[in-house]
Amino acid sequence: MKNEDDAKDVFQEAFVIVFQKIHQYKFEGSFEGWLKRIFINKLIETLNKKKKESFFLDVFDPDTDFIEEEELDIITVPQEKLLEYIRELPDQYRMVFNLYVFEKMKHKEIAELLKISEGTSKSNLNRAKKILQKKILSIKNFKTA
C-alpha cells in the first residue's frame, strides 16, 4: 500500500479473515503459506476495489530487456529511502515487484494470482526495477556531484 494507515487496515482485515476461517485450515501444507495466501488475496482485493478498472498494464513489450537476474546496487541506499521508492511505484509495478522480490514468487504464480499474463508480470517487474534503478542512480549522482 502507498501509506502506512492503508497497510495497517489491510493487515487488520486479513487477520479478521484468518480468525474467521481458521477452522478451514486442514493442516496440509504450511500454515505460513496458508496465512500468506489470505494476506495477499486481501491486498489484491483491496487494490482492485480502489480502482474501478484493472490496474495492471496487460501489455507485454517483447523488446523490453528484462533484468531479472541483475541486482540493483542498493548497498549504499538507506533502507528507509529504498522502501520509500518502492512505495512510490505505481500499484501494478509495486505489487509484482513485492511478490517477486520479497515473496520469492515465480512469474507464473504471480500471473495466476493477479490474473495477468506471465509477460505482463515480467514487464511490470522490469519497469519497476528500471524506475528504482533511476532513483538509486540519481542519489549516487547527487552524492558524487
**Lowest mean pLDDT: which of 29-33, 54-58, 73-77, 132-136?**
54-58
- What domains does the chain contain, in order, with CATH numbers? 1-50 (no CATH), 56-145 (1.10.10.10)
Burial of 59 (0-12, 13-18, 19+ CB in 10 A): exposed
Record the pTM.
0.60
pLDDT of residue 74 exceeding 70: no
Residue 33 pLDDT > 50, yes or no? yes
% pLDDT > 90, the chain: 33
pLDDT for 55 equals 42
Residue 49: the pLDDT is 75
Using alpha carbons, list the distances in angstroms from residue 126 to 7, 23, 70, 119, 132: 24, 40, 10, 10, 10
Predicted local confidence at residue 2, as pLDDT: 76
pLDDT digits (tens, 9 = 90+) for 1-24: 777 888 889 899 999 999 999 998
Rounded mean pLDDT, 70-81: 60
